[in-house]
Amino acid sequence: MAENLQNNPKRIIIIGYMGAGKTTLGRALSKILGFPFYDLDWYIETRMRKTIAQIFEDRGEEGFRTIERNMLHEVAEFENVIISCGGGTPCFFDNMDYLNQQGETVYLKATTDIICKHLNMSKNVRPLLIGKSPDEVKSFVDEQVSKRNAYYLKAKHILEVHLMDNREKVNTMAEQLIAMTGISKKA
Burial label for 82, CB within 10 Å (0-12, 13-18, 19+), is buried
Report in angstroms the alpha-carbon separations of 17 from 78, 84, 100, 127: 23, 11, 17, 14
Tens digit of each residue's pLDDT, the chain (187 residues): 333 334 567 999 999 999 899 999 999 999 999 999 999 999 999 999 999 889 988 999 999 999 999 999 999 999 999 999 999 999 999 999 999 999 999 999 999 999 988 887 765 667 677 788 888 889 999 999 999 999 999 999 999 998 788 899 999 999 999 999 999 876 5
- For position 155, what pLDDT does the model report? 98
Q: What is the pLDDT of residue 181?
A: 94
Residue ranges of the annotated binding site for ATP are 19-24, 126
pLDDT score at 169: 92
Annotated binding site for Mg(2+): 23
Domains, the chain, in order of start with CATH, read 2-181 (3.40.50.300)
State residue 132's pLDDT score: 82
Binding residue ranges:
19-24, 41, 65, 87, 126, 148
d(CA 14, CA 160): 13
At residue 185, what are phi and psi to the nearest 5 degrees? -60, 160
Annotated binding site for substrate: 41, 65, 87, 148
pTM: 0.90
